[in-house]
């Protein structure tokens, strides 16, 4: 497994890039607005596009 992304905390434990329910080991991540576009009002309206089960 590659090194964790510095400064990225992620609790999505079932993602194949997740380590220990806290770290992301992807080489980079892409984050998007849930419904498309480029304007979110709250953090819960954003999501990690890099996720893989
Ligand atoms: S790719 Fe996204 S969902 Fe997966 S561990 Fe990294 S930040 Fe979390």
pLDDT of residue 29: 98
pLDDT of residue 1: 52
pLDDT of residue 43: 96
Q: Ligand 1, closest atom to CA 48? A: 2
Comparing CA positions, the residue from 46, 6, 47 lying closest to residue 26 is 6
pLDDT by 10s per residue, the chain, length 53: 579 999 999 999 999 999 999 999 999 999 999 999 999 999 999 999 999 99
31-33 and 46-48 strand pairing: antiparallel
Pocket probe for ligand 1: among 24, 25, 34, the residue whose CB has the most ligand atoms within 8 Å is 24
Question: Structure pTM?
Answer: 0.89
pLDDT of residue 33: 98
User: From atom 8 of ligand 1, which residue's Cα is the shortest distance away?
Assistant: 10
CB of 26 within 8 A of CB of 17?
yes
Ligand 1 centroid, distance to 17 Cα (angstroms): 6
């Amino acid at each position: 497994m590659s090194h964790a992304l510095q400064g990225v905390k992620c609790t999505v434990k079932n993602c194949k890039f997740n380590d220990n329910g806290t770290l992301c080991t992807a080489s980079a991540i892409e984050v998007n607005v849930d419904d498309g576009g480029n304007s979110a009002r709250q953090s819960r309206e954003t999501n990690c596009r890099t996720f893989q089960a």
